[in-house]
Amino acid sequence: MANHSTGLLDKNTLRILFTVLAIAALLAFVWLARKPLLAFLFAMLFAYLLEPLIVLLQKWAHCSRVIAIALTYIAIFAALFTVGAVVGPHLVEEGQHLSAAAPELYNKVASGSIAFQVGKARGWSESTQASLQQFIVGHRGQVLSAISAQSSKVTEIAGNALWLILIPILAIFFLKEKSRFARSIEGLLDNQRDRQLLGDIMNDLDEMLSHFVRAQLYVAAISGAVYIAVLSLMRVPYSLALGTLGGLLEFVPFVGPLVAGALILAVSFGLNYGHLVMVLLFLLIWRGLEDYVISPRVLGGRVEMHPLVAIFGVLAGGEIAGVAGIYFAVPVMAAARILWIRWRHHRAENSLQQPDATQETARQL
């Protein structure tokens, strides 16, 4: 009996048990500390976005990296201030009018009186207006809960503003200590070939993340430009504010575009815009193009991944980890691809060198 108990607790069993417990503890830590970890990840991506500008400034101005980082941040703040001075007053004015109209719009929806306002603007009969008003009142709970759900999502995003402020601050440390951090990791390994493998992997990951961040910026810029252009051509009220918000919300996967689309429809409907169906068609068509054509091709092309694989990764990431899974699905899959390719090359080189070592040993004998 004693020998049997000893066999159940041999070294292999203990090693497997320790590995399982360590992985479980790591996953628990990641879940409990998900907000600061996400802030650090986004800070890293922001640092990758600025890296090309800093390198270019170092070469052009012949200055140190710290000075280049400081000049880059000053240039960014100056550009934001200039854009804000030019576009800001009109954008703020639209935002104030939109905020002032929101409570009245909410009350009209809650009471069902919006049915008469919309019906008169569109020439509907009184019976149609009354039927719509009864439908809204009868389903008021569902309508108001849907509005509250969208408002809570916006409030949640606004509540995380502190983490958004921390991102550019944390990015300074990543930019300043990037090379030292890489050397410290490589120094943990003693074998020269293992250090070479780790260095190659880190270089590939560095290049992939740089491409990914710039691709995200391209997608958001394209989306914001399309929103502003189309909504302005369709003469949708507050098109500049809504289009700018739609472009910014592209950085929040899945939830951001849904909030932007719902807000555009709600404002158009509440302010008696005459072509509500056209707005809905535009949002549906653009969402399909954005999610299944533009974004997969831009992101997949930048990280050397087929668009279908990128779509699958985004859908799977959303099921596994929600919004964060959607956002990080493509870089995680691209990182896994890099690790697999580099590991195969490493094993192939080892298999080629082992016969040579065996022959050398045989000649010595």
**Digit-coded pLDDT (tens) for 213-252:** 888 888 888 888 999 999 999 988 888 888 888 888 887 6
Task: Return the H-helix or E-strand segment holding 359.
Answer: helix 307-364
Whether residue 186 is contained in a domain is answered as no
In this structure, the answer to whether residues 230 and 295 fall within a common structural domain is yes
Number of domains in the chain: 2
In this structure, the answer to whether residues 166 and 216 fall within a common structural domain is no
In this structure, the answer to whether residues 276 and 328 fall within a common structural domain is yes
Q: Which residue has the higher pLDDT, 239 or 1?
A: 239
Q: What are 287-342's pLDDT values in tens digits? A: 888 877 887 777 766 667 776 777 787 778 777 777 677 777 878 888 888 888 88
In this structure, the answer to whether residues 157 and 48 fall within a common structural domain is yes
Nearest-angstrom CA–CA distance, 132 and 111: 12
Whether residue 313 is contained in a domain is answered as yes
Q: 50 pLDDT band (50/70/90 cuts)?
A: confident
Structural domain including 281 reads 193-345
Whether residue 71 is contained in a domain is answered as yes
In this structure, the answer to whether residues 251 and 282 fall within a common structural domain is yes
Whether residue 277 is contained in a domain is answered as yes
Predicted local distance difference test score (pLDDT) of residue 198: 78
Task: Return the H-helix or E-strand segment holding 226.
Answer: helix 192-233
> Alpha carbon of 119 to those of 61, 128, 238: distances in Å?
64, 8, 22
> What number of CA atoms fall less than 13 Å from residue 144's CA on the CB side?
14
Q: Where are the alpha helices (DSSP H) in 234-253?
A: 239-248
Nearest-angstrom CA–CA distance, 79 and 88: 12
How many helices (H) and strands (E) would you count in the chain? 15, 0
**Token pair of 86, please?**
């030019």
Which pTM was predicted? 0.58
Whether residue 356 is contained in a domain is answered as no
Whether residue 226 is contained in a domain is answered as yes
Q: Which residue has the higher pLDDT, 103 or 291?
A: 291
Cβ atoms of 66 and 176 closer than 8 Å: yes
In this structure, the answer to whether residues 143 and 242 fall within a common structural domain is no
